Amino acid sequence: MKKLALLLSLCMAFSAAPLALADEKAAPEGAENAGVVVNVTVPEDYDGELNGRLLFLVDKDLSAEDLAEGEEVFYNIDVTGCYVAGKTVFGVQPGDVITMTIDDPDVYGYPMQLADLPDGEYAVQAFFIKYTEFNRKDGTTIWAMADHGGGGSITSNPYNLYSDSTMATVGEGAVELTLSNEIPLGYELAEGQVDQQGNYEDKELVKYVKIKSEVLSDFWGTDIYIGANVLLPANYDPEKKYPVLYYQGHWPGGSVPLSYGSTRSASQKAFTEYWDSGEAPDMIVVTTRDATMFYDTSYSVNSANQGPWGDAYINELIPYIEETFHAVGEPWARLLAGGSTGGWEAMALQVFYPDFFGGTWPMCPDGMDFHAYQIVDLYNDENAYYIDNGWTRTERPSARDTKGNILWTIEQENHYEIALGGLEAVSLGQWAIWEAVYSPMDEDGYPARVWDPITGDINPDVVSYWQENYDLNYIMQTNWETLGEKLIGKIHLRGGDMDNYYLNLSQYRVAEFLDSTGIDYGYSVTFPRTGHSGSISNHDLLEEMAEHMIKYGPENAAEILGR
């Protein structure tokens, strides 16, 4: 789960079609503007045609002084950040002007429509998300942002365009902006290199690998790559074989697994000293660079919309890593961990491939039971955005602090994603990626929506597909007769009982089922008055994993681990 700035502070260091929308929300007090016009010009010297999503950004807090000091409005794109209005366009040529007006049905704004934007002086900017046409082997076509090493971030992906940030008075004539800037690649590609999934320089104990996936390339009809960041143990010996921790999560860029080498905090410095001292278990740690056209990570499973990422991971990337870096290559010596999105991935991989992995440590995982899809019960609720009480209608929250204060609602976050990506699930946002992973492909080639993104009305047919294919608790319950014995001792769930995204609700349901089976599956623990966290240090996590491998591995496991 990625919720932008909030996640960075809370989690462990671990559409294309035109829009025709009508938002019935009342205009905020003071909104008098009846004629906002935004003209965005493509420079005459731009090379090529533009297809994609144009964003008009407005910030009421930035000043001219801030802009002079290098602030950009697009730094504040967030569900609680700057205003954003979006429009998808195709076939735009150099010198063309793209116009947004209040009566343009293709324009959708958040947190209000363009007509409701109050008059006033603001910092404004235009941003253009470049789309690529993907023609899949099955004959379907979608338009979405191709990865060029930006890790699924619209504001980091090379070749996206933006105007200068400037002060403008909304309500006094048209706002005129020019897409005069392009996010640079930042380096020269060496012969044979591709920019997809980024390129980074090896260090003594840190190696960066990238391979072309044959199965994904076949699915997408174009070359698709998957990369990994590999942390080797101190005194790595290529003649020795090592267990591997496959740590799941969001796009790591060039960062080192487990923040090895970082001195930003005392705990990170202490972990580096622990790793270098040789006291850490002798094992390899791997994170994955698998940004897709839908998000900053593939979720590491096969998907109707994203393709066979599970097959690519299990049958292509892991064998390459194990051969290249001399891994043990046996189930007891393959462990999983991850937080939030990575927590779901770590749980899903263990459930979907129970004979391949020897144990998993999911921390604050995304919803593993769709009775608790955050706070929505997909099986019994009719609407995701509201609880209808007859006389009243109560909005469902999406995020809270550990005191219970609501930070934003599910409706707000979904409408924010519409502004970024339109009605198709290509916003690169959290709710959209869940649909890209869990949903069947719709007739237009895009992910089927589990609920109407405008109204929140739930689609029971799509929910049924989700249940059969991605409700991990349902899958365990349905297949327990054959699956149960393969999960003995392998599941270690950790989370806060005040998870900021209500993910503790799902963990409770999974734990209730596992406890009912009577097997020693591992443990599930939630920590009181704790938010979106796994509440364990990297040092303690590795020590716990070493004990696990010694218990469930071969007689010489302790020797292999350097114990």
Q: Is residue 411 in some structural domain?
A: no
Q: Is residue 60 in some structural domain?
A: yes
- Do residues 65 and 18 both lie within one domain? yes
Task: Give percent helix, percent strand, percent coil of the chain, each to the nearest 5.
Answer: 30, 25, 45
Tokens 């045609």 belong to 49
Q: What is the pLDDT of residue 9?
A: 40
CB 117 within 8 A of CB 170: yes
- Do residues 536 and 389 both lie within one domain? no
Give every residue of the chain whose pLDDT is below 70, as ranges.
Answer: 1-34
Q: Is residue 444 in some structural domain?
A: yes
Preceding omega of 111 cis (within 30 degrees of 0): yes
CA 401 to chain centre: 21
- Do residues 360 and 396 both lie within one domain? no
The C-alpha atoms of residue 545 and residue 534 are separated, in whole angstroms, by 15
The torsion angles phi and psi of 313, rounded to 5 degrees, stand at: -70, -50
The C-alpha atoms of residue 312 and residue 117 are separated, in whole angstroms, by 46
**Nearest Cα to Cα of residue 167 among 126, 110, 118, 125:** 125
- Do residues 465 and 487 both lie within one domain? no
282, with CB counted inside 10 A (0-12, 13-18, 19+), is buried
Tally of structural domains, the chain: 3
All residues at 6 or more sequence positions from 64 whose CB lies less than 8 Å from its CB, including other chains = 123, 167
Question: Tokens standing for 116?
Answer: 């409701």
Q: Is residue 294 in some structural domain?
A: yes
- The DSSP bridge partners found for residue 99 are 39
- Do residues 386 and 433 both lie within one domain? yes
The C-alpha atoms of residue 338 and residue 456 are separated, in whole angstroms, by 30
The C-alpha atoms of residue 156 and residue 250 are separated, in whole angstroms, by 14
> Phi-psi category of 56—alpha, beta or left, where left has phi over 0 and alpha has psi -120 to 50?
beta
CB 81 within 8 A of CB 90: no
Question: Tokens standing for 442?
Answer: 């719709």
- Do residues 213 and 348 both lie within one domain? yes
Q: Is residue 159 in some structural domain?
A: yes
Sheet of 37-41, strand order: 97-101, 37-41, 175-178
Residue count of the chain: 563
Tokens 């990337």 belong to 317
- Do residues 147 and 14 both lie within one domain? yes
- Element (H or E) spanning 31, and its range? none
Read off the amino acid at residue 523. Answer: Y
**Nearest Cα to Cα of residue 256 among 247, 265, 244:** 247
- Do residues 514 and 555 both lie within one domain? yes
DSSP code of 295?
Answer: S
Identify the three-state secondary structure at position 493: strand
Among 112, 147, 182, where does a domain finish?
182
Among 149, 182, 215, where does a domain finish?
182
Q: What is the pLDDT of residue 1?
A: 58
Q: Is residue 200 in some structural domain?
A: no
Half-sphere exposure of 148 (CA within 13 A, CB side): 21
- Do residues 321 and 173 both lie within one domain? no
**Nearest Cα to Cα of residue 74 among 65, 62, 90, 92:** 62
Q: What is the pLDDT of residue 171?
A: 85
- Do residues 113 and 140 both lie within one domain? yes
Among 440, 469, 498, where does a domain finish?
469
Q: Indicate yes or no: pTM above 0.75.
A: yes
- Do residues 168 and 107 both lie within one domain? yes
Q: Is residue 193 in some structural domain?
A: no
Q: Is residue 542 in some structural domain?
A: yes
**Nearest Cα to Cα of residue 252 among 151, 134, 323, 166:** 151
- Do residues 35 and 116 both lie within one domain? yes
Domain around 457: 375-406+426-469
b (16+ CB within 10 A) / e for 537-555: bbbebbbebbebbbeebee
Sign, CA torsion 454/457/460/465? positive
